[in-house]
Structure 1
């Protein structure tokens, strides 16, 4: 690490196991990430902020290095509101850039490194990114983009270190407020093009403040915690979990990319106390050969979400990991979690185990019919959430923003109901999203590309249940006249055009697509046969 050679303080949980009676770490005066960085640099400069691949970044170093980058962004001509993209796997540098953007008033655009060149090109063009931080591993992908890269590209490595070192580590001037945009995350789109969700600083403070105000420990942060980030930082779950731990002043353990064997090793050898994962990751941890309860003895809490979880998997995880579990539900548009199933509700056999949870203090949930009327408990309709952590807007899409954010309510596109006690149960999707290992995949994205194949007349994509990944992508294909494409042909065509998690796992050739009298595709008719034996129409 660059910066002063600090003495590093890593609270090893096996030596300093957090006690349940310890107070939560909450600093109510912190309301922006700028304040977070400076506060912890002053009060715990030698405490490890990030551990990654054996490297340590202290809070003092995080503050100084992000200061240097903030100064460098200004020297490069970037002004508040300009977009800065990051294309790379998890590392301490990602968090340095995050705090630098917060301090300079620029907006961080984390790019999913699994995307293809055309998909990355869309994000960089749509966001009008002016500077790109790029890991060398992904330079060949950027070179294949159909459009020119941003005007400035800083390759992580020696050039990045030299670029930082040429600027001072003093505090840059900052005018950040809780409503200042700080991040823009891209979500899959119903029209085939991802939308940029703009989030302000408040999105990363509102929920923890609500929990603290009521003295709730549904999700908590305690002295000595080592927090594993299983979800990548380009996903709202990963970014939110990291910022919560930074705001508390605990230590984040960053995985470059999730691998079950590595994750188990870190939990066991470092003494990880908390973790945030999607259900597919839980399954991988439990099925890793040779892994057992002895590997998870230091865990005190697992936060999970991103997709529904089966009761069987949850009960196995509760038994093997033997710690508290908290389920979170929300969207990028809600600033991540808006609803939580607290640890006390995680009792095998309890009907609440099928619930998404209940809203946090200060968050409201309602269920509406197609006319926008609020429905009574038990009636299924569209779930709407009102939360102080909600998005600012969809970048450059005022019409889409107005459709999703209505009078302060986020319309989720999920179908569910509230019970008499205010617990939310998700039953289906109103939108057509497929959830693959916690990633939203919209059929239109795949259908648009598939229909570019000369052998395809029409394509319809649905989600089907999958034991490991939650759901898989199933493509129905109507061949073009005189054409007989094979699944291999279609797969080969899609590989350079779609990220791997968006690729169909199975293809089914049909003579025609079912439609109603007005010509609308009867997607549900194609999807239903995969879900006939499931009480819940999402997995």
Structure 2
């Protein structure tokens, strides 16, 4: 019987092996070649094995943005462990919750090894990439294979991607090694046309935030496969805005951008423009971009905006390129055409596919989709249905195959690209003694893309204080869940079925009570 082919992340190791002395990372004054990055992967994977980490073990990766962070993520998957990317800024209780998910080791670096993190990781093995007092440095390993062999088993979970935690604790989305191996990013022969178009512009891809972010990491891998360089964005100087200063300083040709940051960039370029002559691609991610906003961005920035649509559970579903927008202006109101490898169905309330042009709920099937949620069989059963992912987004497909998003079947607000669920916010508000009922909807917001708007029915003879209600939500669920707007109403409008009608609330947001 022939020996099985090495699994994920062999394709990334192959890209590094072929790169040799090509620069693949810039980090401040450092330029790291493909050979040097491969050396880091080898050292860190050897250090993990020496620490007893192997297939099936959970490793929480709490790292900044650096070549070492990228190498560490690859190394964790080389040894076949379950890589759980933990983003900075979680509340202590949320962090302790995540580290309780069968985590064998916590991986830190000099920028993340805070006292709070060390306290939350008490009782677990802490390992470092880089010098951290009292913690073994995996990059110092000497005995390591030059070409490490991936040990991941196809049906083991290779990556856990956490949601924002707006329901109280972040939800872990699971990808198996088989799913990771089916991804398109490290394989140029699998690139859909829109991705191939984007890849041609990734000479200098600006990275920031966290490589634990699915989008930031995936397009970093795409940059590696496209022959480009990942460039770490330095923090802004003084009061200068992150964009466009980082683009200019690093001569970036491409980056990922959220809708709020895009709005700020457009506003800056209207009032105090700077020369963005190096910029060729901005991938808008995290929340829907209204057609008028997209048209404005193209008018001000030029043909550099790529409008992507996807979910944590599915990866990329569709992408709209500048070339398509120039050739098909009507596509402006869409999020592009799903590529051949992505199956989509628009279904009615009974789960039956509807004809082209008819609105319904979008179901998707992708080669690299997730398989479920960590320790949440109920939510898993509700979203992963017979091999399909229920997006809980309302959509329609037009006659030319373009996908149009029309709203949500789920009750969420997307604030700075993070999901904030309406239910927990409503429960916190309703728990205040001055509140009889509370209902939350999403409204457009210049700064955050969307914001929370709360409609509150006061308790009899009570006059709730909006600031007190905002502070209550902020304390319980975090600042992003705190209502930007509070409207007091005498009663909530209801649908013909007798249920609260949020569409009518959203249509008329004027205060109904003094």
**Normalised by the shorter chain, which TM-score bucket?**
0.7 to 0.9
Corresponding residue of 2:131: 158
Between stretches 273-282 and 311-320, larger displacement belongs to 311-320
Corresponding residue of 2:163: 187
Corresponding residue of 1:354: 333
Deviation at 1:466, TM superposition (A): 1.4
Secondary structure of the residue aligned to 2:275 is helix
Find the aligned partners of 2:157 and 2:329 in 1 and give their Cα distance.
41
Corresponding residue of 1:273: 253
Question: 1:489-531 deviations in whole A, cap 9, x for unaligned?
Answer: 3444444543433332223345665667988544444334359
Matched, 1:216 2:193: yes
* Alpha carbons of structure 1 residues 166 and 262: separation in structure 2 relative to 1, 3 Å: same
The counterpart of 1:101, out of the listed 48, 70, 76, is 76
Matched, 1:206 2:186: no
The counterpart of 2:216, out of the listed 238, 251, 256, is 238
Corresponding residue of 2:107: 133
CA contact (8 A) 2:41 2:74 kept: yes
Deviation at 1:221, TM superposition (A): 2.4
Corresponding residue of 1:402: 381
* Alpha carbons of structure 1 residues 119 and 256: separation in structure 2 relative to 1, 3 Å: farther
* Alpha carbons of structure 1 residues 124 and 319: separation in structure 2 relative to 1, 3 Å: same
CA contact (8 A) 2:202 2:228 kept: yes
Deviation at 1:333, TM superposition (A): 0.4
Deviation at 1:297, TM superposition (A): 1.0
Corresponding residue of 2:226: 248
* Alpha carbons of structure 1 residues 489 and 143: separation in structure 2 relative to 1, 3 Å: farther
Secondary structure of the residue aligned to 1:288 is helix
Deviation at 1:308, TM superposition (A): 1.6
* Alpha carbons of structure 1 residues 291 and 272: separation in structure 2 relative to 1, 3 Å: farther
* Alpha carbons of structure 1 residues 67 and 372: separation in structure 2 relative to 1, 3 Å: same
Matched, 1:73 2:54: no
Question: 1:146-182 deviations in whole A, cap 9, x for unaligned?
Answer: xx64612346652267343145342444223666532
Find the aligned partners of 1:211 and 1:162 in 2 and give their Cα distance.
34
* Alpha carbons of structure 1 residues 208 and 110: separation in structure 2 relative to 1, 3 Å: closer
Find the aligned partners of 1:311 and 1:346 in 2 and give their Cα distance.
11
* Alpha carbons of structure 1 residues 210 and 248: separation in structure 2 relative to 1, 3 Å: closer
The counterpart of 1:526, out of the listed 496, 505, 508, is 505
Deviation at 1:464, TM superposition (A): 1.2
Corresponding residue of 2:172: 196
In structure 1, the gaps of 5 or more residues are: 1-28, 532-539
Corresponding residue of 1:21: none
Corresponding residue of 1:57: 32
* Alpha carbons of structure 1 residues 348 and 444: separation in structure 2 relative to 1, 3 Å: farther
Secondary structure of the residue aligned to 1:168 is coil
Secondary structure of the residue aligned to 1:347 is helix
CA contact (8 A) 2:343 2:365 kept: yes
Which has the higher relative contact order, 1 or 2, with Cα contacts under 8 A spaced 6 or more apart? 1
* Alpha carbons of structure 1 residues 530 and 483: separation in structure 2 relative to 1, 3 Å: closer
* Alpha carbons of structure 1 residues 112 and 505: separation in structure 2 relative to 1, 3 Å: farther
Find the aligned partners of 2:354 and 2:166 in 1 and give their Cα distance.
26
CA contact (8 A) 2:159 2:174 kept: yes
CA contact (8 A) 1:205 1:244 kept: no
* Alpha carbons of structure 1 residues 455 and 397: separation in structure 2 relative to 1, 3 Å: same
CA contact (8 A) 1:280 1:469 kept: yes
* Alpha carbons of structure 1 residues 210 and 94: separation in structure 2 relative to 1, 3 Å: closer
* Alpha carbons of structure 1 residues 255 and 268: separation in structure 2 relative to 1, 3 Å: closer
Corresponding residue of 1:374: 353
Map 1:435-450 to 2 at 5 A: 435-450=414-429
Secondary structure of the residue aligned to 2:77 is helix
What TM-score does the superposition give when structure 2 sets the normalisation length?
0.84
* Alpha carbons of structure 1 residues 375 and 102: separation in structure 2 relative to 1, 3 Å: same
CA contact (8 A) 1:184 1:196 kept: yes
Corresponding residue of 1:344: 323
Between stretches 280-289 and 493-502, larger displacement belongs to 493-502
In structure 2, the gaps of 5 or more residues are: none
Deviation at 1:390, TM superposition (A): 0.8
What TM-score does the superposition give when structure 1 sets the normalisation length?
0.80
CA contact (8 A) 1:229 1:241 kept: no
The counterpart of 1:504, out of the listed 480, 483, 487, is 483
Matched, 1:303 2:320: no
Deviation at 1:103, TM superposition (A): 0.8
Question: 1:85-139 deviations in whole A, cap 9, x for unaligned?
Answer: 23344333321221111111112212232332223333332x3222223465573
Find the aligned partners of 2:191 and 2:388 in 1 and give their Cα distance.
23
The counterpart of 2:12, out of the listed 21, 24, 36, is 36
Secondary structure of the residue aligned to 1:333 is coil
The counterpart of 1:284, out of the listed 242, 250, 264, is 264
Deviation at 1:332, TM superposition (A): 0.4
CA contact (8 A) 1:67 1:172 kept: yes
Query: How many residues get paired?
Result: 498
* Alpha carbons of structure 1 residues 223 and 326: separation in structure 2 relative to 1, 3 Å: closer
CA contact (8 A) 2:9 2:150 kept: no
* Alpha carbons of structure 1 residues 489 and 76: separation in structure 2 relative to 1, 3 Å: farther
CA contact (8 A) 2:6 2:149 kept: no
